[in-house]
Structure 1
Amino acid sequence: MSAAAPHRGTLLLTGGSGMVGSNIREHPRAAEWTILAPGSRELDLTDTAATYDYIQRTQPDIIVHAAGKVGGIQMNMANPVDFLDVNAVIGRNVIMGARAAKIPQMINLASTCIYPRAAPNPLVEDAMLTGPLEPTNEGYSLAKIMALRLCQYIRAETPELLYKTLIPCNLYGRHDTFDPAASHMVPAVIAKLHAAREAGIDTMDIWGDGTARREFMYARDLAGAVLRAAADMEALPDLMNIGVGHDHSVTDYYNAAAKVVGWQGSFEHDLSKPTGMKQKLCDTTRQTDWGWQPQTSLHDGMALTYQFFLERQSA
């Protein structure tokens, strides 16, 4: 970025230490903003009064709401109360705190898990609330739908408040969580394959039959989309998917990770385990009309993520 990059004001980033928040903060376009990214010790987003007070005192020009309790299928199934309650409370506090302080702009980050389990693919934004949700992450999905709807209701009542929602596909990348018991699929696979290679293990289980299809985007690409949106909120649709526009099978992701890690064993399918939705692919028509596409290939993203994993291992 050149030294002449514009300064656009103050951006309050919730979840600044998470994967998405960390990728936003280290993106070159972050230099356009003074970024406030309070950690949980500085600001507990489940504390309504503290959240309202922080937003009122700091008066950011825009809020990017990326905070939340996140995890893979195992964590969602084991902790549905927390995934619903914590995320609903955080979403409500941030969004209503912004409204009370009359913050003019907000980017709320949702997730493609808001779409019905049986919605036809690719998933169009209008498919939300047209059918039952995927049971394995229903609590998290309900909280995200609540926050999304709250932004829409505020925009309808007060059009000058540009509170808009981006719906990213599944993400992976730098600053991801690699604990297989708590992480999403790609980082969990990278960690498991690395451990298998180090231990000389030559077989690896895949949950389900491996045919379920997923769309994963490198988190740095999402960060670029968020910061581009923050720079021109008027042009951003009120609700928009952010994705790569194509998907791969779960087995494909395992094979891609194995190549990057250098593991040469074989996979076995554990048909007793849940696989979630059979397909979850974004419709990217609105994104394309907005003029944006991600730039990182699956192989390159996997390689950069594995490099980060190794750096963290050696730290």
Structure 2
Amino acid sequence: MNKDSKIYIAGHKGMVGSAVWRALLGLGYTNLIGRSSKELDLRNQEAVTQFYREEKPEVVVDAAARVGGILANKRDQYGFLMDNMRIQNNLIQGAQEHNVTKFIFLGSSCIYPKMAPQPLKEEYLLTGPLEPTNEGYAIAKISGVKLCQALREQHGKYFVSLMPTNLYGPNDNFDLESSHVLPAMLRKFHEAKENGNVPVTLWGSGTPLREFMHVDDMAQAVVFALENELPGYLYNVGTGVDLTIKDLALLIQKTVGHTGDIIWDSNKPNGTPRKLMDVTQLKKLGWEASIGFEVGIKETYNWFIQKQC
């Protein structure tokens, strides 16, 4: 891939897309293109086809998706399934029809079965039932993985799917109705501190185990997949290390400086008991995450505070 290769980053204003954009710019790539959702509705097949026809990107990174936490997914399974299938189907079909040479499809660790053995290996895909609370999103992403696999095997296309663990960092979604657990905690603890260190109520028991990776590490994994010819169609991307939700809460509470109580609402769902990615395959090829968790949390909190001002 040349430094002037035309690279389209779908979802370039989101957390992952913007991180990929920063990473490529930092490495000297000069021909990046992006469209906001207002400029290009990726759910509209005709609009996406016209975009491909006019812009002719050589490389596509699909970081566009409708995402949300447990509450948002549970409330609108149909919307998450339909919107994400439309987005990825249009992008993948357009890439195939307009001779895109490299396509990176980004998904999520939720594609794996709820009770799959830990850590999660790529081979566990489609070996058991999914977590019910985000089944719609997961099924959409699984279909995207399989589309990319089929194009790779049937037509020799360099279509690679990267499945990240839970991501966090700049440009994350901190809305309490639709955000994931880490940014939601950051905001809850910050607001509680600002209100006199009142107690913070969190969902579940705090016992589930989760893995988190800074979004800039994810961006570097995308760059690695673009600059190297990876032999497989599906790769996990993570740190290979997890912690309990309770320990996450304590770390965020310490980072924010909140001194009040933490109340666990056990009437709320925990979600999957554990989600740890087996990152052996990508590590064997020469890539691994490098940003320490405590450092990443501090940087993300500082970014959040700056945006609040």
Instruction: Using structure 2 for the length normalisation, give the TM-score.
Output: 0.97
- Once the two structures are TM-superposed, the CA of residue 236 in structure 1 deviates from its matched residue by 5.3
How well do the aligned residues superpose, as a CA RMSD in angstroms?
A: 1.4
The residue aligned with 1:50 is: 47
Matched, 1:19 2:21: no
Indicate whether 1:207 and 2:200 are aligned.
no
Deviations 1:88-143 (A, max 9, x none): 01010000111111211100001100000110010000101001100000000000
SS of equivalent residue, structure 2 residue 99: coil
Partner of 1:275: 270
Deviation for aligned residue 1:235: 3.0
Counterpart in 2 of 1:221?
217
Does the Cα contact within 8 Å between 2:212 and 2:239 map onto a contact in 1? yes
CA separation in 1, counterparts of 2:41 and 2:60?
Answer: 16
TM-score by length of 1: 0.95
Instruction: Tell me the secondary structure at the aligned position of residue 32 of structure 1.
Output: coil
Give the Cα–Cα distance (whole angstroms) in 2 for the partners of residues 224 and 153 of structure 1: 26
What secondary structure does 2:31 align onto? strand
Contact 1:15 1:67 in 2 (8 A): yes
Matched, 1:300 2:301: no
Residue in 1 that maps onto 2:106: 109
User: What is the CA–CA distance in structure 1 between the aligned matches of 2:288 and 2:153, rounded to whole Å?
Assistant: 29
**Alignment partner of 1:264 is 2:237:** no
Pairing partner for 2:235 from 236, 240, 248:
240
What pairs up with 1:12-91 in 2 under 5 angstroms?
Answer: 12-27=8-23, 28-29=25-26, 31-91=28-88
Aligned to 1:230: 226
- The answer to whether the 8 A contact 1:8-1:231 is kept is no
* Counterpart mapping for 1:128-207 below 5 A: 128-159=125-156, 161-207=157-203
Question: How many correspondences in the alignment?
Answer: 308
CA shift at 1:163, angstroms?
0.7
1:252 matches 2:230: no
1:46 alignment partner, SS class = coil
Aligned equivalents of 1:302 and 1:236: distance in 2? 33
Matched, 1:98 2:95: yes
SS of the residue aligned with 2:6? strand
Q: Which residue type is aligned with residue 146 of structure 2? A: R
> Secondary structure at the residue paired with 2:103?
strand
Q: Distance in 1 between matches of 2:265 and 2:231?
A: 43
Offset, 1:57 = 2.0
> Amino acid of the residue matched to residue 251 of structure 1?
K
Q: Report the Cα distance in structure 1 between the residues aligned to 2:291 and 2:176, rounded to whole angstroms.
A: 24
- Contact 1:11/1:33 (CA < 8 Å) preserved in 2? no
Identity %: 38
User: C-alpha distance in 2, partners of 1:277/1:90?
Assistant: 26
The CA deviation string for residues 4-60 of structure 1, in whole angstroms up to 9 with x for no partner, is x96151111000111101111222545324111111122110110110121122121
In structure 2, list runs of 5 or more residues that go unmatched.
Answer: none
Q: Which residue identity lines up with residue 299 of structure 2 in the other structure?
A: L
**Residue of 5, 19, 22 corresponding to 1:9:** 5
Q: CA–CA distance in 2 between the matches of 1:220 and 1:195?
A: 26
Equivalence for 1:119 = 116
Answer yes or no: is the 8 Å Cα contact 2:58–2:99 preserved in 1.
no
Secondary structure of the residue that 2:197 maps to in structure 1?
coil
Unaligned runs of 5+ in 1: none
Q: Deviations over 1:259-313 (max 9, x none)?
A: 1111112212111000100000000110110111111111111101001101110
The answer to whether the 8 Å contact 1:29/1:227 transfers is no
Question: Partner amino acid for 1:7?
Answer: K
